[in-house]
């Protein structure tokens, strides 16, 4: 597992047993200046690219020593310093040509996913955290990841464009004095706290767990240990004093006194300030420092062989329900249509050939297909699309959010058309997936046309070129049959079969 970050390229080599147990065999870290380039000039300098090539070639050699060559056993990701660079494509192509590594620029959803998967074992293994709210924070070179977990469920997740190196380089580019870094950082930190605070239950204890190399460095210095425990506790007054001492030193002094690589020395002060200020603003007495890293979550994801585990998928659905409640959706109707969509998805698996990822996307679209009513009854399907795109759904990439939004947009009225801008922006496979999911959603929505959730336990069968949906013990299906006639046209266009709704007597 290789992580190309703003200040360093890190690699972890692990052994994954059949039971799912993970044992780390080796770790390596090499400082790089990617963040310095991107956050100053918005592009990666050719010399920095070659620096990364040299590091990754040495990592490839190390992988050979462990007899790791198969592509499915190697995962290389890059975070904000690469993702935001204007020349990221040429950078990624150069890395691939020189090293054979296919680098995945990690989006916000990917970071949220691996962060959640990384901390989950820690939270489950600590009884003292069971009843507490855990605020997981990592201040990176380009961004700050925040995850609030309560009783195993994600209550808040966001990635803020507050990065230790980003702040320093942005100010240096306009020749602002070093003292300005602290002032700017504090203003941005207060905005993060303002976002988090409404999601914190004041009646429950709150524990702040910090991740990242900068805070691990601080913990090692304060605790005077060579190897940190899985979760170390540092009183906040002591941590703040250490932070002020670090901020008082120049970058050159940090390099010489603490033997930090130059890129890390540039970032450590602002990063520690962020942790200290967030803890203070939330009224905490201590911070907890974890040895968990982004690579731990990525290795766990590789071990499960799934992009979305069952538990992570549950968090995505929870997030969609929270978004629906925010927009005052008809919860009973939406949950029922989602259940019906899922039943149809399973019954038609041989026809639609969609994967489990699409099942979750369809579920989200079904939950949120009517949230546009909060804007206007007229064209509410278009408003639903807009609100889903801008709804801060947890765990879904921008592409996945767009697929869910378009599926909801096409739950009524016009079928998908190439003239529709958002739909036209998709590749052919994605457009077909949207059309299939929207067709299924229209049928599910027609089944609850009365909004009374009276149709349950449907069974489906393909008979003589028709999809027959049998409904047990339904007194009168005339309303639903009329709705089906109006809404099943897309289904016929996509799957080539008509939909027939009929009463099935109880056995």
The residue among 401, 391, 392 whose CA lies nearest residue 422 is: 401
DSSP reduced 3-state for 86: coil
The answer on 418 and 493 residing in a single domain is: yes
- List beta partners, residue 401: none
First to last CA, the chain: 56
Pick the last residue of a domain from 245, 274, 302: 302
pLDDT at position 394 over 80: yes
What is the CATH classification number for the domain harbouring 54? Answer: 3.30.420.40
The answer on 326 and 276 residing in a single domain is: no
> What whole-number percentage of the chain has pLDDT above 70?
96
With contact defined as beta carbons under 8 Å apart, do 165 and 238 qualify?
no
The answer on 167 and 63 residing in a single domain is: no
The answer on 114 and 41 residing in a single domain is: no
Pick the last residue of a domain from 77, 105, 133: 105
The Cα 482–Cα 447 span in angstroms is: 10
pLDDT tens digits along 187-201 = 888 889 999 999 999
pLDDT tens digits along 334-365 = 999 999 999 999 999 999 999 999 999 999 99
What is the rounded average pLDDT for all residues in the chain?
91
The answer on 151 and 32 residing in a single domain is: no
pLDDT at 307: 65
pLDDT tens digits along 443-492 = 999 999 999 999 988 999 999 889 999 998 777 899 999 999 999 999 99
The tally of domains found in the chain comes to 3
Query: With bands split at pLDDT 50, 70 and 90, how would you rate the model's confidence at 165?
Result: confident
Average pLDDT over residues 359-379: 96
pLDDT at position 269 over 50: yes
The answer on 194 and 276 residing in a single domain is: yes
DSSP characters over 253-303: HHHHHH---HHHHHHHHHHHHHHHHHHHHTT-SEEEEE---HHHHHHHHHH
The residue among 212, 1, 34, 211 whose CA lies nearest residue 104 is: 1
What is the CATH classification number for the domain harbouring 112? Answer: 3.30.420.150
The answer on 401 and 264 residing in a single domain is: no
pLDDT tens digits along 5-60 = 999 999 999 998 877 778 889 999 999 999 989 988 999 999 999 999 999 999 99
Residue 263: partners with Cβ closer than 8 Å, 6 or more residues away: 6, 7, 8, 31, 32, 33, 35, 36, 141, 165
What is the CATH classification number for the domain harbouring 376? Answer: 1.10.3210.10
pLDDT at position 175 over 80: no
With contact defined as beta carbons under 8 Å apart, do 408 and 368 qualify?
yes
The boundaries of the domain holding residue 348 are 310-504
Burial of 339 (0-12, 13-18, 19+ CB in 10 A): middle
Which of residues 373 and 505 earns the better pLDDT score? 373
The answer on 118 and 74 residing in a single domain is: no
- CA distances to 31, 240, 367, 461 from 329, rounded to whole Å, are 49, 45, 9, 32
The answer on 261 and 379 residing in a single domain is: no
The answer on 22 and 144 residing in a single domain is: no
> What whole-number percentage of the chain has pLDDT above 90?
68
Which contiguous run of DSSP H or E holds residue 139? strand 133-139
The Cα 504–Cα 507 span in angstroms is: 9
The answer on 164 and 64 residing in a single domain is: no
The answer on 297 and 365 residing in a single domain is: no
Average pLDDT over residues 232-244: 96
Query: With bands split at pLDDT 50, 70 and 90, how would you rate the model's confidence at 507?
Result: very low
Which of the residue ranges 294-303, 304-313, 462-471 has the most confident prediction, judged by mean pLDDT? 462-471
Pick the last residue of a domain from 105, 125, 149: 105
> Longest Cα pair distance anywhere in the chain, in angstroms?
83
pLDDT tens digits along 130-148 = 778 999 999 988 889 999 9
């Amino acid at each position: 597992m290789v992580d190309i970050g703003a200040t360093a390229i890190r690699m972890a080599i692990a052994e994954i047993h059949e039971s799912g147990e993970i044992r780390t065999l080796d770790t390596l870290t090499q400082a790089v200046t990617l963040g310095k380039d991107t956050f100053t000039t918005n592009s990666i300098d050719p010399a920095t690219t070659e620096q990364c090539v040299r590091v990754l070639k040495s990592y490839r050699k190390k992988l050979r020593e462990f007899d790791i060559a198969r592509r499915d056993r190697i995962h290389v990701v890059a975070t904000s310093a690469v993702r935001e660079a204007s020349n990221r494509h040429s950078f990624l192509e150069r890395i691939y040509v020189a090293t054979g590594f296919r680098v995945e620029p990690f989006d916000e959803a990917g970071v949220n996913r691996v962060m959640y998967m990384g901390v989950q074992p820690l939270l489950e293994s600590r009884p003292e955290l069971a009843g507490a709210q855990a605020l997981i924070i990592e201040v990176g070179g380009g961004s700050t990841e925040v995850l609030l977990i309560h009783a195993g469920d994600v209550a808040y997740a966001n990635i803020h464009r507050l990065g230790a190196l980003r702040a320093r380089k942005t100010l240096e580019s306009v020749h602002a004095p070093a003292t300005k870094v602290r002032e700017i950082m504090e203003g941005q930190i207060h905005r993060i706290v303002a976002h988090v605070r409404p999601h914190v239950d004041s009646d429950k204890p709150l524990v702040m767990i910090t991740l990242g190399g900068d805070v691990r460095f601080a913990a090692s210095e304060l605790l005077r240990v060579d190897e940190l425990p899985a979760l170390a506790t540092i009183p906040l007054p002591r941590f703040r004093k250490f932070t002020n001492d670090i901020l008082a030193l120049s970058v050159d002094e940090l390099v010489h006194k603490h033997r930090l690589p130059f890129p890390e020395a540039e970032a450590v002060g602002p990063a520690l300030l962020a942790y200290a200020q967030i803890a203070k603003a939330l009224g905490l007495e201590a911070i907890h420092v974890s040895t968990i890293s982004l690579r731990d979550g990525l290795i766990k994801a590789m071990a499960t062989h799934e992009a979305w585990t069952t538990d992570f998928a549950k968090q995505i659905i929870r997030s969609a329900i929270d978004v629906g409640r925010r927009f005052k959706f008809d919860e009973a109707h939406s949950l029922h249509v989602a259940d019906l969509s899922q039943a149809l998805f399973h019954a038609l698996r041989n026809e639609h050939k969609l994967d489990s990822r699409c099942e979750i996307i369809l579920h989200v679209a079904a939950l949120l297909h009517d949230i546009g009513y909060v804007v206007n009854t007229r064209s509410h399907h278009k408003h639903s699309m807009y609100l889903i795109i801008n709804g801060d759904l947890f765990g879904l990439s921008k592409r996945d959010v767009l697929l869910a939004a378009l599926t909801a947009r096409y739950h009524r009225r016009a079928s998908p058309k190439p003239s529709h801008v958002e739909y036209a922006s998709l590749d052919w496979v994605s457009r077909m997936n949207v059309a299939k999911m929207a067709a299924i959603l229209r049928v599910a929505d027609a089944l609850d046309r009365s909004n009374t959730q009276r149709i349950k336990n449907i069974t489906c069968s393909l008979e003589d070129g028709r999809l027959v949906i049998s409904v047990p013990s339904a007194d009168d299906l005339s309303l639903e049959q009329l709705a089906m006639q109006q809404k099943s046209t897309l289904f016929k266009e996509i799957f080539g079969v008509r939909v027939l709704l009929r009463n099935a007597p109880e056995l």
